[in-house]
Structure 1
């Protein structure tokens, strides 16, 4: 059994993949699967995109890792690009979204205690997901992930997503920061409302708290904008990104306002592999494809095309309760268990992801074609007819 080699942190399907190209994965028998999981919103350009393959080959012949004691043009160029595109000020590189969120927790705590000794509370959203390390888990609003690992961080408080009154009730001078996902991914692809986001920003301004957006899943073009918070015309103090930034190569980042990080000193945090030239070269290639090659501008049209087709399915198959999302982060909420539908779609060689609230997450690469969307719709309908 393959599982005998691994600590059982994952529940795996009995599929082994050996290669991939674009929106497709190929198993050990050569069977093609339409991959609408994309490494869980990671493979921005699909599998083995020529530009990313060329970047990895070229950069690995020059520099892979040098440590953070020294400068490197690749790292500098990615930091400058992210700073300019986000309209923020400074960047920290790490290896994953969870690591980025660990960094924002520490930044928020130090920021707050520079203002007042007891200004260290962090408010987070019910049903949020920010990671599985002890810090990020402490601000993840899902008991199923937290229950076996207490005690967690102190001075964190859960509030209700899209309910400004619940945030107001907890807001006071002890709050150092509020963290939220502009689109909750793991909890069923639930977008924040504009009034909620604007209200949160006003509260943060009023109480001199940091506004933190976790865009690990919904950022890097996935929503149809480079950063999902750009739908709301607000500016965070801290922005955590990862997943799609490397297109499959591990990289995470925190982008910060000067206000948030003026208190930070050398040694407050770090990451051995964070900001290595190979990862940063991948990040530059992703941005080149999204911005310079204009891939990002295609996402809204693809989203409208896909969501329209899914809503037509909903009209025919009442087991679909709701279709929602932004860009190519799409949720199809079912009235009954989504697990069986996901499994049956896998038998049709279509890969989809699960999430909470009986919602199926649909996460194709941003390079997906209309023909591939049509094929996915056909395979989903084939499954639905059997229910």
Structure 2
């Protein structure tokens, strides 16, 4: 039966929830203090992996970064200079097929001409203005003979309409939502959703002293790295170095509708956060029945249902919104990664009843919703929301999954190929790190997910079938790199992404890799997302 993990400390099973109610025991929070078993700075001394060859330019860039950048990223020994379409090129002149998209960000690939035009034209006019003011698109005037032409910097913007408003209109008209709040990232969007949820409950329960303020999240989930979003993220290795984080979060098994319903109806829950398709967690898709059960229980209890579509939304699954495939709609949805095609942006989409609880001063952001980033986002959204574009993503995703199952399915290390549209996972029975390295050396960029044993493929949505075929061939060619790497799937696996190097917190070390897993309270990597 699913367990409920409660800050700070122990776990409670579903029967324990019933017992707690019967005997009026304390709620979700176990306040018994315990020392955190790890520190944020790990001070792990790892010897460099042998035979890591780098060009002179690559070495220079890596050494220069090590002198001035805080070592929170474990990077691969490759330095990119430019990209085009689904390809990236490094400073040594090598070409790579990019199936990472900057971790599901570059939906239109690299250098899309309409996106470039939207960014450069708006940068010439107005890049930033405070949210205490309004702004409108710059209009260009051209005189040709006796004719006079006027057009906006973005031809899709309405006359005199603020880019932020124009983008919000597009998001609202294509979704369940009535209003939008802009942020700068996915974690900021989830932070805002936390605040909106609590403010909504205070607004809806204005006649009580203690309205519901707690949250439900699920196993394998990832919602961000800031303190509130971090508290909603299930993996302990993200949270432990920074405890105490926000209390009042219960983690249930992803897909356990019965346990979720029981806790939702407890009267303490403000909102349920769920990813319709989990990305960093290992490419797991919710069932329609699970989401329907969450929706019904939330409606019954007055709890908000929040979909985190930061990675799976905006066309990635072949639907503009991942939840569209199920026909089950939220009260709040968070977005980010691909929305502006590589420029930082996030968004929180809400219903009118959620928006009604928010007042001036309740939340804000210096940079969010600026004219430059919103103009870029309009250029992206206008393309990816096209029904033909979405159909192509769906078709390419099905083709790619079938191709991968055909080419890789017979390998004993491949347990499953799964996913929706162009967010695909290949689950292995061994750590995926050697395959990531071998593919990169062969000109293919891939990610990992889950416990480090899932290959995550999130290519640009504009990738061609020929490029998908090329990627599948490289994966097939590199599979022998997994031989001799057998390890229990029940244990946490080595570093989780394209990047296996580690930088010591006290002394920056270059080109470091794990020769063997380094266990951190059962978690052996700190993956990217």
Same fold (TM over 0.5): yes
How far 1:280 moved relative to its partner? 0.5
1:125, 1:261 → 2: CA distance? 25
User: 167-176 or 5-14: which moved more?
Assistant: 167-176
2:340, 2:351 → 1: CA distance? 23
Which of 229, 236, 248 pairs up with 1:136? Answer: 229
SS of 1:324's equivalent in the other structure is: strand
How far 1:296 moved relative to its partner? 1.8
2:336, 2:417 → 1: CA distance? 26
2:465, 2:278 → 1: CA distance? 26
Which of 27, 49, 67 pairs up with 2:90? Answer: 27
1:360, 1:305 → 2: CA distance? 17
How far 1:290 moved relative to its partner? 1.4
How far 1:337 moved relative to its partner? 0.8
SS of 1:148's equivalent in the other structure is: helix
How far 1:295 moved relative to its partner? 1.9
1:52-110 C-alpha deviation (Å, 9 max, x unpaired): 11111111112111111122311110011101111310000111000000000000111
2:176, 2:476 → 1: CA distance? 43
CA RMSD of aligned residues (A): 1.2
Determine whether 1:16 maps to 2:79: yes
Tell me what 2:357 maps to.
Answer: 263
1:131, 1:203 → 2: CA distance? 26
Tell me what 2:190 maps to.
Answer: 101
Tell me what 2:477 maps to.
Answer: 382
1:293, 1:271 → 2: CA distance? 33
Determine whether 1:68 maps to 2:161: no
How far 1:293 moved relative to its partner? 7.9
Tell me what 1:159 maps to.
Answer: 252
Residues 292/312 of structure 1: CA separation in 2 closer, same or farther (3 Å cut) = closer
1:136, 1:314 → 2: CA distance? 36
Tell me what 1:174 maps to.
Answer: 268
How far 1:292 moved relative to its partner? 4.1
Determine if contact 1:24/1:35 at 8 Å carries over to the other structure: yes
Instruction: Report the TM-score, using the length of structure 1 for normalisation.
Output: 0.98
SS of 1:197's equivalent in the other structure is: helix
User: 350-359 or 162-171: which moved more?
Assistant: 162-171
SS of 1:361's equivalent in the other structure is: strand
Determine if contact 1:52/1:285 at 8 Å carries over to the other structure: yes
Q: Rg: which structure is higher?
A: 2
1:221-247 C-alpha deviation (Å, 9 max, x unpaired): 001100001111112110000001011
User: 330-339 or 312-321: which moved more?
Assistant: 312-321
2:399, 2:248 → 1: CA distance? 44
2:407, 2:429 → 1: CA distance? 14
User: 289-298 or 229-238: which moved more?
Assistant: 289-298
1:315, 1:178 → 2: CA distance? 36
Instruction: Report the TM-score, using the length of structure 2 for normalisation.
Output: 0.72
2:86, 2:387 → 1: CA distance? 19
Tell me what 2:179 maps to.
Answer: 90
SS of 1:212's equivalent in the other structure is: strand
2:219, 2:66 → 1: CA distance? 33
Determine if contact 2:442/2:474 at 8 Å carries over to the other structure: yes
Determine whether 1:150 maps to 2:256: no
Matches within 5 A, 1:117-132: 117-132=210-225
Determine if contact 1:314/1:321 at 8 Å carries over to the other structure: no
Tell me, which stretches of 5 or more residues in structure 1 are unaligned? none
Tell me what 1:353 maps to.
Answer: 447
2:350, 2:274 → 1: CA distance? 15
